[in-house]
Chain A
């Protein structure tokens, strides 16, 4: 029997629940050299800013136990360049396109949302929590009040579904999720990276030129699963879970905990076919359980 892998996330119909996470899939071009990107449910593009950004000094990556720190710092060609030069390529494919955006001020978020609302994209994902840029961005995401403010403002300009991406660097992610929901978010995605630091004992300096960076990969998965569990019990809007997903069963953990869809990040950088493998793994699991739809496993966790 065919498994129905499709999911509906706030009106966006995804052919399967696997989305490439922002910053680990570029604008799809590199991965398209290795895999058929039509097989993905969606692609969240590299974080966009209003003006092009250079990003941080290198080294921008440090390997850590079962994970990595990055301090890329939102290097990107800017939202206009994206629309003119990258979006047409993505649109030749069938994966949903999610525009991930970050700004220094709420006005910038609003301006980008207005611009992108007229572009041929499927949803906007607000990165209100990038740990790698000093100004702006991080401040909005770390308090419920900050989330409320930015979500409300941006929502006024959004003609596309609005996904608010939550940072784990808070004391209660359920509270920030609830704030996003009541301020009008159509979905939440989580988790962004955990702020971290790695030190080279030989040089007695941080490995990253930026000193600190965002932790991702298998090391963060248990934290992420717990947070997705808490958030999905708190909000009614769809939840997109991520953090350390490398295989089908990793994704299934998130879905059992309440995720309607998942994003795969770090794994894309190591295995170009990670999203496809994750998708096949979910399908196998659903089949094994005798369900007919992938969406059936969402939230079907049984607590001890």
Chain B
């Protein structure tokens, strides 16, 4: 169950250009959050950045009663969040949404992330009990590469791609996955990132008949299922479709159920 809370920020650091990791104190969220879930943050009091901003939970420290979020400073809301100091309070709804299934039956997994989509995948690796865990992360350029050590530490292997080739392999994460997918015998793929990436990963998973869970983004009004703003197209019956809602039915969906336009 999600709650409306005031949480206290215990730490904040810029870990790459314009990307911030924030540690937030909440026994409730650290104890209850599952990988893939998000919090919806009121970045300031009053009418600037009126709507809440959805940010994924990146990791939890259960003994320490804290959770971490990582966010890119993009516009007004995340800009104000980046200016927060330890000790500041923030108004949070969470944990929200469904979660990645990290069940123990998934023994050989691939995680595929792009840009700000890599953050929830760290939590997936923390929760998963898979033996083989291959991570494929894509970033626009070397300056935006983040959490490399954290991912390396939790993975059997880590591949990094940059669009411009300034770090790791030049190209996109799904292209590296394509290379490995026929030899690795994965039983689950977890993916989060920009839509073109998700589309490619879903397609690959389909071709190789591998189960795949993807986490979607959509502009949100409420974040808890009441306003119906965050629609995404999902399969319905034989060849029909309907609008599901990212904040409530998702953000995680079986890749087969999503209809990319």
Contacts and interface: CB of A to CB of B under 8 A. Distances in A.
Interface of A: 23-26, 29-31, 33-34, 46, 54-63, 65-68, 70, 72, 75, 217-219, 266, 268-273
Nearest to B76: A63
Given A26-B226, A70-B227, A273-B4, 16 more contacts: A23-B227, A24-B222, A25-B226, A30-B224, A34-B224, A46-B228, A54-B242, A57-B231, A58-B230, A60-B229, A60-B230, A65-B47, A72-B229, A266-B50, A269-B221, A270-B51
Contact of B243 (A23, A34, A54): A54
Contacts of A29: 225
B227 A24 contact: yes
A108 B93 CA distance: 39
Contacts of A218: 47, 50
A264 B12 CA distance: 35
A33 B2 contact: yes
B200 interface: no
Contact of A61 (B47, B48, B221): B221
Interface in B240-257: 242-243, 248
A269 B243 contact: no
A25 B42 CA distance: 19
Nearest to B53: A63
**Interface hub of B3, B48, B222 (most chain A Cβ within 10 A):** B222
A61 B243 contact: no
A59 B218 contact: yes
Contacts of B229: 58-61, 70, 72
A60 B2 contact: no
A76 to B, nearest CB: 8
B51 A269 contact: yes
**Interface hub of A25, A56, A60, A70 (most chain B Cβ within 10 A):** A60
Contacts of B224: 30, 33-34, 272
A contacts with B: majority SS: loop
A25 B50 CA distance: 17
A68 B219 contact: no
Given A33-B1, A270-B50, A58 B218 contact: yes
22 contacts: A23-B227, A24-B227, A26-B226, A29-B225, A30-B248, A33-B224, A54-B243, A60-B221, A63-B50, A65-B47, A68-B51, A70-B227, A70-B229, A75-B243, A217-B47, A217-B50, A219-B47, A268-B226, A269-B227, A270-B50, A270-B51, A272-B93
B contacts with A: majority SS: loop
B214 interface: no
A58 B219 contact: yes
B228 A75 contact: yes
B220 interface: yes
Q: Which 4 A-B pairs have the closest CB atoms?
A: A269-B222, A66-B47, A61-B229, A30-B226
Contacts of A272: 4, 93, 224
A274 to B, nearest CB: 11
A24 B2 CA distance: 18
B154 to A, nearest CB: 33
A87 B247 CA distance: 23
A182 to B, nearest CB: 35
B49 interface: yes
B83 to A, nearest CB: 19
Contacts of B230: 58, 60-61
Nearest to A26: B226
Interface in B13-64: 42, 47-52
Contacts of B2: 33-34
B232 interface: yes
A59 B219 contact: yes
B4 A61 contact: no
Given A26-B225, A61-B221, A272-B4, A75 B50 contact: no
Nearest to B77: A63
Contacts of A70: 221, 227, 229
**Interface hub of A34, A218, A268, A273 (most chain B Cβ within 10 A):** A34
Contacts of B93: 272
B59 to A, nearest CB: 25
Contacts of B50: 63, 66-68, 217-218, 266, 270
Nearest to A56: B231
Interface string B189-230: 000000000000000000000000000001111101111111
